[in-house]
C-alpha cells in the first residue's frame, strides 16, 4: 500500500525541555477526525514508530508518533535505551508533564476532534499509554501492544475513564503471569472496560519486524511474529471503531 500520509514535526515544550513529535494525517480527508497518541518502545522515536503513525493516518486518524525523551531522540543501543527509560520513571512528575503536553498538543491540532482522542503504544509505549489512563487524562481508549502492565501511579475509582485493549503474547517472557493477574484485578476494581487478548506463541516485540534481529544482537527475548502482528492490528482497528463511534 503506498504511503500517502502527510507528515509534519510538531515541536513543543514540557518542563523546560523541547520535544519534536511526528504527526501524520491523510490529506485526502476533510474535517476533524480522531487523534491517536502513539508511544514508542524503549528505543524512542524511530522509523518504526513513524511508520505506525502513517499507517494510522491511512485509517483516518491524526496520529502522533510521540517523542518521550526530548529532541526526537532515538537510543543508539539497548544500554542507552535502558538508561533513557529509567530516567523517565525516576522522575514521574516530569514524565506526567511530557505525556500531558503530548495530549494537549494533539488535542489542539485543527484536524483533531478534541473529544475523540486515544493513546496506544508498544512495549514501553504500552505502559505509558496505560499510565495516561491511570492519570485520568480524558482519553476514549488505550491500546497496549506487548507492553508492561505494572503501574507507576495508583488510580482512584472513577479516574481511569478510557476503555482498554491489551495485545499480549502468551510466550512473552518479559511480562510475568503475576503482573497479568494484578493488572486484571486492578482493571476490575476500577471498573474499567478492558479487553485482554493473548496470542499463542507470540513473544515480546511481536509487532516489530526488527525485534528478532535486535533480540539476538542484545541478548533479549524478542521476536517478530507476522501472524500476530496482523491479528493484533485488526483487533486494534475494531477497538478504535468501537471507542470512537
165-221 tens-digit pLDDT = 999 999 999 999 999 999 999 999 999 999 999 999 999 999 999 999 999 999 999
The pLDDT assigned to 53 comes to 98
The 10s digit of each residue's pLDDT in 42-72 is 999 999 999 999 999 999 999 999 999 999 9
The pLDDT assigned to 3 comes to 62
Cell (9 digits) for 94: 516530569
Cβ neighbour number for residue 234 with a 10 Å cutoff:
9
Q: How many Å apart are CA 211 and CA 214, to the nearest integer?
A: 5
Q: In terms of Cα–Cα distance, which of 52, 134, 64, 53 is closest to 96?
A: 134
The pLDDT assigned to 5 comes to 83
Cβ within 8 Å of residue 229, ≥6 positions away: 206, 207, 209
- 41 Cα distance to chain centroid: 8
Cβ neighbour number for residue 129 with a 10 Å cutoff:
31
What is the CATH class of 6-243?
alpha beta
Q: Give the position of cell 511526528.
A: 22
- Report CA-CA distances (Å) from 71 to 10, 20, 67, 88, 99: 11, 5, 7, 15, 15
Look up the pTM and report it: 0.97
Amino acid at each position: 500500500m503506498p504511503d500517502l500520509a502527510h507528515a509534519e514535526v510538531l515541536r513543543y515544550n514540557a518542563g523546560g525541555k523541547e520535544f519534536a513529535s511526528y504527526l501524520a494525517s491523510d490529506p485526502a480527508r476533510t474535517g476533524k477526525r480522531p487523534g491517536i497518541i502513539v508511544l514508542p518502545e524503549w528505543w524512542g522515536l524511530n522509523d518504526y514508530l513513524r511508520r505506525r503513525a502513517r499507517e494510522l493516518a491511512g485509517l483516518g486518524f491524526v496520529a502522533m508518533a510521540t517523542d518521550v525523551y526530548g529532541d526526537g531522540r532515538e537510543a543508539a543501543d539497548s544500554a542507552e535505551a535502558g538508561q533513557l527509560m529509567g530516567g523517565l520513571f525516576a522522575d514521574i512528575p516530569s514524565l506526567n508533564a511530557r505525556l500531558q503536553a503530548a495530549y494537549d498538543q494533539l488535542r489542539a491540532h485543527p484536524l483533531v476532534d478534541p473529544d475523540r482522542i486515544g493513546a496506544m503504544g508498544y512495549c514501553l509505549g504500552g505502559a505509558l499509554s496505560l499510565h495516561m489512563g491511570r492519570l485520568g487524562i480524558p482519553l476514549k481508549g488505550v491500546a497496549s501492544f506487548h507492553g508492561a502492565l505494572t503501574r507507576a501511579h495508583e488510580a482512584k475509582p472513577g479516574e481511569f475513564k478510557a476503555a482498554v485493549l491489551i495485545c499480549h503474547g502468551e510466550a512473552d517472557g518479559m511480562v510475568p503471569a503475576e503482573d497479568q493477574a494484578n493488572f486484571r484485578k486492578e482493571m476490575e476494581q476500577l471498573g474499567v472496560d478492558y479487553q485482554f487478548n493473548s496470542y499463542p506463541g507470540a513473544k515480546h516485540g511481536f509487532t516489530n519486524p526488527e525485534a528478532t534481529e535486535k533480540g539476538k544482537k542484545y541478548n533479549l527475548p524478542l521476536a517478530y511474529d507476522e501472524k500476530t502482528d496482523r491479528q493484533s492490528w485488526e483487533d486494534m482497528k475494531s477497538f478504535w471503531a468501537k471507542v470512537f463511534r
